[in-house]
Structures are given as structure tokens and as C-alpha cells.
């Protein structure tokens, strides 16, 4: 997957979690939590969805890597390079 | 439709033991993730403590007294939109005790206002208190107790301590001596937007959940009590129900954590260290309830939705547990509870100790039950004068009743104290493929806690099944 595709994947998953999420003014370097009002349960949903769609196993200690859109891409890029 | 035991398949990806809200949610999530799920429940209906019963045209709800607004998002994400849309606010929460009488929407704005105007607290102190409790996390330091938290912000104000604590003690059995974080997390959940209920009643909710489970392909088998979880070479391989073995790669127990470790499995599967921790887990208190049905055609005035009442001078967790406690809540179910079902019911709830009831002789037990009913009706008269004449059905439940229906250790109503959470979270590290879900650790109890915990555990199970 390209970085753009990974970005779209993450946003698509977030949209599934919250269909009212507003991505227009999203700063990719700021925490998703604050901008989109995501809680820890929402992050768990992202992890589960990534496992379901791409068989990714993300250990709990890696969750902080999912904090911002760009950090998601950085973290997922090597894991999804063949996807 | 539930399937008969004899019609079950030989093996499943995962078996869920128990259909409390935690078990139901785990079953639903795992089926949604594509696993083959079997749900086994010992009772003839699903729901566990989220249950109801019918008498003479009345429908009595057991644990539908109120939950936080967070249920809206949780039901939308982990169940469906229809379930979410039935969640409505209970706007009138009443307190009546020797220290104060008031009515509130039980949210941050109203509490801020009350604390300022009725209790004379500085706005800055109130703000600091709310900032402190809303920022609490379960992984924070647990050494501070709720008593210390209250003393820090509202020293020597037993009236304020009562206002802040009494509802939470009823909601999850916690006391002033439990970790402040457990208080902070649960209290701020409620303060977010107030108290909510499920329009249509518990029967409607569980019916909708059952439909969703079937849609997602969960096999449901009721009247199936699991006697043993089968373990081979450190990993689960199935369960045994009345002599029938059903195989599975993973087993999730929604039976209490103490039941799961000490009754459903054998001790030699666990390390000594784990067993020591498990033995130290304290289960929470149980409950007593009195269910009162109002004659068809009779009406009662709106006196509030949820009444926290007491004639005890001050709040005291021990007093709330006493066999003859002077404190109880009344949930008043007006026809709005079940639109179309034009009836009024009232449920009085009290916290209670299993040992107080288990030690009674049969005659004493029946006499105490009668006296519990009499006290409840007498207390209710204070709020609804003349109600005695309007009641055409009354009966009571005790800790023994809760134990019979849920099999929970000492009839616990709210799982375990805080230390139970760590034991529940780490059981799968002891026995591969064995997970626990359900009320534990105070914060994971209640309808919202049990459902959210179901989602958290589903993630662990899914990860195990896909590894
Ligand atoms: C009186 C009372 C009032 C309450 N009021 C509220 C309220 O107003 N709001 C709120 O949010 N929460 C309330 N609660 C708490 C809430 O109901 C519970 O925290 C929640 O429903 C518990 O869900 P659970 O997943 O832990 O499972 P439980 O509801 O405890 O269910 C466990 C299930 O497992 C089954 N089981 C156990 N062992 C076996 C076995 N060996 N084989 C097969 N099945 C088995 C049992 O039959 C049961 O169905 C109340 C609780 C009580 C007792």
C-alpha cells in the first residue's frame, strides 16, 4: 500500500466508527483523539478492524503509534507494504 | 431461536459461557469478526442480571435503574442503531435524607450549580474537583481512596460526601475506601450528561440483542449450564455441559471471575502466584429488591424517576448494607418506560450482604422478606401517599435470589473489587485461549462497563484466534 492508501484506510475505518467524523480540518500531525473526539474504545476498534481487514496484530504497547494520522502511516507502512 | 443441546455441532471457534451483557457483547463482536460462536446460558433466557419478569400483567425490570450517556455511542458501535435510538434520559433524580432534599438532572452543570448555591462551595473548588475526576484513568495510581479525594476537596462535609457517593454506591457497590479512580471514572461517566434508560424495557433490549446475534450467526443454547472448562496441555479445548463435550479453540467465561477460576477449572492449571492473587479477590455486595405493581387503571403522580432515600443521619457504606438499612432507592416506572403498556411499577433496591441472608433459617428468611416488603411500602408512602391501596402485586428478591439466577459467588451484584480486573485480564496468560468477561474491578461493571469490557475482551480473543 502507498502512504496515501494507508491514510485512506485509516480514515475509512474511523468513518465506520463515527459516521459524523469531520476530516476537513484534520491536521495529520495532531492527535486524532482530540480532533475527532476519539476515546480509547475507538482506538481499540481501529486495531480490531486492521486485524480483520489485513490480519495485522498490533500489540498493546504499540497503540501510541496510532496517535496521529501521520504516525499511523509511519507505523503501518512497513506492515502493509505488500498489502 | 435457541438451539437444543443435542443439536449443537461438535466444535466451535469460541464458546461463550453466560449471556450477561458482557457475554452477549463478546459473542456479537466475535461473530461480527467472522468467528463461529456458541453462546451457552444456564437460565432459560438471555441477559443475566439485565433481566425482567412478568406477574399479573406487570413487567418488572431488575437492573434498569439508569446508566450513563456513554451507552448511546457504545450501543451504536457494538450493537445497532435501533438499540441506540431507544435510549432516553431519566431527567428527575431525587435525593431525600436528613441532610438535604433536592431534585437534579445529575449532570455536571446541575451539580456545579447545586454545590455552589445549596452547599456553598466556591466555584473554583468545584471546577478543580471535576477536572480531577474527569482526568482519572484506570492505570493511574490507586493509592488514594475516595474518602481521601472527598476530604481533599470538601473537608468535613459529610452532606457533600453523601451527595457524591450515595448514587455510586448503589450503582456499583463501591465505598469510600475503594480507590478514588474507580469513583472518578464512574462518576464522570454519569456527570457527562446525566442518567439514561432504555425505552421499552429490558425485555425489548434483550429481544433486540438476540435478533442481532442471530443475524450475525451466533448459535444460542439456553438452559445449558457449563460444569467444566476443558483444558489440555495448558490450553482450553472445550467445555462440558451435562456430560456433553463441545470443543472450541477459545472459551470466554461470563460466569464470575471467582466461579471461573475455582469452580469451572482446576487449580493446577494456574501458577501459585496467580492463585494467590485470585484468592485475594473480594467479590462485591449483593442486593435486595422489592417489586411493586400498581393496579391496572390506577395512576400515580410524577414524583421523580429515581429516588435516593434515607433516614440515616449520615452516609455510611456499612449502613447501606445492613439487613435493616434505612436507605434505599426507588425506581418509578411510569407508562413512558414501556410505551403502549399502560402500567406503573416501582422497584425498591438496597445493597445487601449475602451472609446476612444465607445464615437465616427458613422461617427467619421468610419473616425477614416480609419485613423488607413492609418497610419498603411504608417508606414509599412518604413519597406517594396512598400507594399501599394501589399496589396489587408485591414480592421481594434477596442475595439468595441473585445467587440462584446468576450462580454468582455470594450473589454479587457488581462483580468484584478493583483487584479482580487484573486477574480477569491476565487469565489468558495462564491458560491459553481462556478469557473472562463480565463485571470486575468496579469500573467494568454496570451495563456500560459490562458491554465495553465485552468489546475489550473480544479484541484479545480475536487476536488469539487469528494468531
Ligand atoms: C439489583 C441490581 C441492580 C442493578 N442496576 C443497574 C443499573 O441500574 N444500571 C447499570 O448499569 N447496572 C446495574 N446493575 C449492574 C448490571 O446489571 C451488571 O453489572 C451487568 O448486567 C452484569 O453483566 P455481566 O456481563 O457481568 O453478566 P451477568 O449479568 O452477571 O450474567 C452472567 C451470566 O452468566 C450465566 N452463567 C454463570 N455461570 C454459568 C455457567 N456455568 N453456565 C452457563 N451460564 C452461566 C448466568 O446465568 C448469567 O446469565 C444492577 C445489578 C443488580 C444486581
How close, in Å, is residue A17 to chain B by CA atoms?
A: 7
If asked whether residues B278 and B345 sit together in one domain, one would say no
Q: Choose one of B20, B252, B348 to mutate for the ligand 1 pocket test, by most ligand atoms within 8 angstroms of C-beta.
A: B20
Chain B CA closest to residue A52: B33
Q: If you measure from the C-alpha of residue B101 to the centroid of ligand 1, how many angstroms do you get, rounded to a whole number?
A: 32
pLDDT category at B202 given cuts 50, 70, 90 is: very high
User: Which residues of chain A are within 8 Å of residue B455 when distances are taken between CB atoms?
Assistant: 41, 44-45
**Ligand 1 contacts CB of residue B403 (under 6 A):** no
For cell 465485552, name the residue.
B454
User: Which residues of chain A are within 8 Å of residue B456 when distances are taken between CB atoms?
Assistant: 41, 44
Assess whether pLDDT exceeds 90 at residue B39: yes
pLDDT 10s digits, B223-245: 999 999 999 999 999 999 999 99
Asked which of A32-36, B165-169, B420-424 is least confident by mean pLDDT, the reply is: A32-36
Give domain status of residue B94, yes or no.
no
| Per-residue confidence (pLDDT) for residue B288, from 0 to 100 | 98
Give the separation between CA B148 and CA B182, rounded to whole angstroms.
13
If asked whether residues B153 and B289 sit together in one domain, one would say no
- Probe site for chain A from B77, B461, B464 (most A CB atoms < 10 A): B77
User: Which residues of chain B are within 8 Å of residue A47 when distances are taken between CB atoms?
Assistant: 459
Assess whether pLDDT exceeds 90 at residue A19: no
Chain B CA closest to residue A17: B77
> Which protein residue has the closest C-alpha to ligand 1 atom 2?
B63
Give domain status of residue B92, yes or no.
no
User: Which residues of chain A are within 8 Å of residue B29 when distances are taken between CB atoms?
Assistant: 48
Is B467 in contact with A17 (Cβ distance < 8 A)?
A: no
Inter-axis angle of helices B180-193 and B158-172, nearest 10 = 90
If asked whether residues B260 and B204 sit together in one domain, one would say yes
Give the separation between CA A77 and CA A73, rounded to whole angstroms.
6
Give the separation between CA B383 and CA B232, rounded to whole angstroms.
59
| Per-residue confidence (pLDDT) for residue B425, from 0 to 100 | 97
Give domain status of residue B93, yes or no.
no
**Ligand 1 contacts CB of residue B167 (under 6 A):** no
pLDDT 10s digits, B396-425: 999 999 999 999 999 999 999 999 999 999
Assess whether pLDDT exceeds 90 at residue B137: no
Query: Cα–Cα distances in Å, from B442 out to B26, B169, B322, B418?
Result: 19, 10, 21, 6
Structural domain total, chain B: 3
If asked whether residues B348 and B265 sit together in one domain, one would say no
Whole-number average pLDDT of chain B = 97
If asked whether residues B294 and B397 sit together in one domain, one would say yes
Assess whether pLDDT exceeds 90 at residue A83: no
If asked whether residues B353 and B325 sit together in one domain, one would say yes
Nearest by CB to residue A48, choosing from B452, B459, B467, is B459
pLDDT category at B1 given cuts 50, 70, 90 is: confident
CB < 8 Å from A in window 10-39 of B: 29, 33-34
CB < 8 Å from A in window 407-466 of B: 452, 455-456, 458-459, 462-463, 466
**Ligand 1 contacts CB of residue B255 (under 6 A):** yes
**How many other CB atoms are there within 10 angstroms of residue B398's CB atom?**
25
| Per-residue confidence (pLDDT) for residue B164, from 0 to 100 | 98
**Ligand 1 contacts CB of residue B328 (under 6 A):** no
Residue of B456, B399, B326, B36 lying closest to A45 (CA atoms): B456
Domains of chain A, start order? 3-18+27-79 (1.10.1200.10)
Domain boundary among B190, B213, B229: B190
If asked whether residues B423 and B278 sit together in one domain, one would say yes
pLDDT category at B139 given cuts 50, 70, 90 is: confident
Between residues A37 and B177, the one the model is more confident about: B177
If asked whether residues B180 and B215 sit together in one domain, one would say no
If asked whether residues B319 and B231 sit together in one domain, one would say no
Give domain status of residue B96, yes or no.
no
- Residues B243-269 have a mean pLDDT of 97
So what's the ipTM on this one? 0.93
**Ligand 1 contacts CB of residue B287 (under 6 A):** yes
Give domain status of residue B149, yes or no.
yes
If asked whether residues B204 and B247 sit together in one domain, one would say yes
Domain with B278, as residue range(s), is: 5-54+63-85+200-282+414-466
Domain boundary among B159, B190, B221: B190
Q: Which atom of ligand 1 is nearest to the CA of B66?
A: 8
Domain boundary among B164, B190, B216: B190
Residue of B270, B264, B267 lying closest to B230 (CA atoms): B264
Asked if residue B238 lies in contact with residue B251, where contact means CB atoms within 8 angstroms, the answer is yes
pLDDT 10s digits, B68-108: 999 999 999 999 999 999 999 999 999 999 999 999 999 99
If asked whether residues B254 and B297 sit together in one domain, one would say no
If asked whether residues B118 and B178 sit together in one domain, one would say yes
Inter-axis angle of helices B272-279 and B419-430, nearest 10 = 150
pLDDT 10s digits, B335-391: 999 999 999 999 999 999 999 999 999 999 999 999 999 999 999 999 999 999 999
Give domain status of residue B164, yes or no.
yes
Amino acid at each position: 500500500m502507498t502512504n496515501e492508501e494507508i491514510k485512506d484506510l485509516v480514515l475509512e475505518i474511523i468513518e465506520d466508527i463515527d459516521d459524523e467524523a469531520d476530516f476537513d480540518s484534520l491536521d495529520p500531525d495532531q492527535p486524532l483523539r482530540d480532533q475527532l473526539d476519539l476515546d480509547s474504545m475507538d482506538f481499540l476498534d481501529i486495531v480490531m478492524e486492521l486485524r480483520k481487514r489485513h490480519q495485522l496484530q498490533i500489540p498493546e504497547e504499540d497503540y501510541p503509534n496510532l496517535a496521529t494520522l501521520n504516525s499511523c502511516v509511519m507505523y503501518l507502512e512497513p506492515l502493509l507494504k505488500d498489502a | 431461536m435457541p438451539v437444543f443441546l443435542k443439536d449443537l455441532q461438535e466444535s466451535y471457534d469460541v464458546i461463550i459461557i453466560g449471556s450477561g451483557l458482557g457475554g452477549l457483547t463478546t459473542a456479537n463482536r466475535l461473530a461480527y469478526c467472522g468467528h463461529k460462536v456458541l453462546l451457552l446460558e444456564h437460565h432459560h433466557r438471555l441477559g443475566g442480571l439485565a433481566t425482567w419478569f412478568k406477574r399479573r400483567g406487570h413487567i418488572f425490570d431488575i437492573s434498569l435503574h439508569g446508566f450513563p450517556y456513554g451507552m448511546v455511542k457504545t450501543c451504536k458501535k457494538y450493537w445497532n442503531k435501533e438499540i441506540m435510538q431507544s435510549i432516553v434520559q431519566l431527567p428527575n433524580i431525587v435525593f431525600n435524607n436528613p441532610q438535604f432534599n433536592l431534585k437534579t438532572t445529575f449532570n455536571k452543570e446541575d451539580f456545579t450549580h447545586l454545590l455552589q448555591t445549596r452547599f456553598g462551595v466556591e466555584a473554583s473548588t468545584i471546577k478543580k474537583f471535576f477536572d480531577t475526576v474527569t482526568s482519572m484513568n484506570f492505570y493511574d495510581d490507586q493509592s488514594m481512596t475516595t474518602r481521601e479525594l472527598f476530604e481533599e476537596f470538601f473537608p468535613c462535609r459529610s452532606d457533600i460526601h453523601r451527595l457524591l457517593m450515595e448514587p455510586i454506591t448503589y450503582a456499583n457497590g463501591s465505598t469510600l475506601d475503594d480507590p478514588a479512580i474507580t469513583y472518578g471514572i464512574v462518576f464522570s461517566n454519569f456527570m457527562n450528561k446525566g442518567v439514561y434508560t432504555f425505552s421499552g424495557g429490558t425485555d425489548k433490549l434483550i429481544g433486540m440483542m438476540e435478533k442481532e446475534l442471530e443475524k450475525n450467526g451466533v448459535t444460542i443454547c439456553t438452559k445449558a449450564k457449563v460444569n467444566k472448562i476443558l483444558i489440555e496441555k495448558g490450553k482450553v479445548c472445550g467445555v462440558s455441559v451435562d456430560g456433553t463435550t463441545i470443543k472450541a479453540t477459545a472459551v470466554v467465561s461470563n460466569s464470575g471471575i471467582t466461579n471461573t477460576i475455582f469452580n469451572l477449572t482446576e487449580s493446577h492449571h494456574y501458577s501459585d502466584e496467580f492463585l494467590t492473587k485470585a484468592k485475594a479477590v473480594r467479590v462485591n455486595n449483593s442486593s435486595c429488591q422489592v417489586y411493586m405493581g400498581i393496579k391496572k387503571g390506577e395512576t400515580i403522580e410524577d414524583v421523580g424517576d429515581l429516588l435516593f432515600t434515607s433516614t440515616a443521619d449520615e452516609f455510611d457504606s456499612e449502613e447501606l448494607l445492613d439487613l435493616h438499612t434505612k436507605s434505599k432507592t426507588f425506581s418509578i416506572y411510569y407508562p413512558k418506560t414501556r410505551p403502549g403498556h399502560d402500567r406503573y411499577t416501582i422497584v425498591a433496591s438496597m445493597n445487601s450482604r449475602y451472609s446476612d441472608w444465607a445464615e437465616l433459617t427458613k422461617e427467619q428468611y421468610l419473616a425477614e422478606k416480609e419485613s423488607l416488603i413492609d418497610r419498603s411500602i411504608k417508606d414509599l408512602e412518604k413519597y406517594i401517599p396512598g400507594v399501599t391501596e394501589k399496589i396489587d402485586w408485591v414480592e421481594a428478591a434477596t442475595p439468595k435470589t441473585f445467587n440462584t439466577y446468576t450462580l454468582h459467588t455470594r450473589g454479587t451484584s457488581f462483580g468484584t473489587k478493583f483487584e479482580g480486573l487484573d486477574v480477569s485480564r491476565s487469565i489468558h496468560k495462564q491458560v491459553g485461549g481462556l478469557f473472562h468477561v463480565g463485571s470486575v474491578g468496579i469500573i467494568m461493571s454496570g451495563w456500560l462497563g459490562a458491554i465495553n469490557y465485552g468489546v475489550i475482551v473480544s479484541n484479545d480473543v480475536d487476536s488469539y484466534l487469528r494468531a
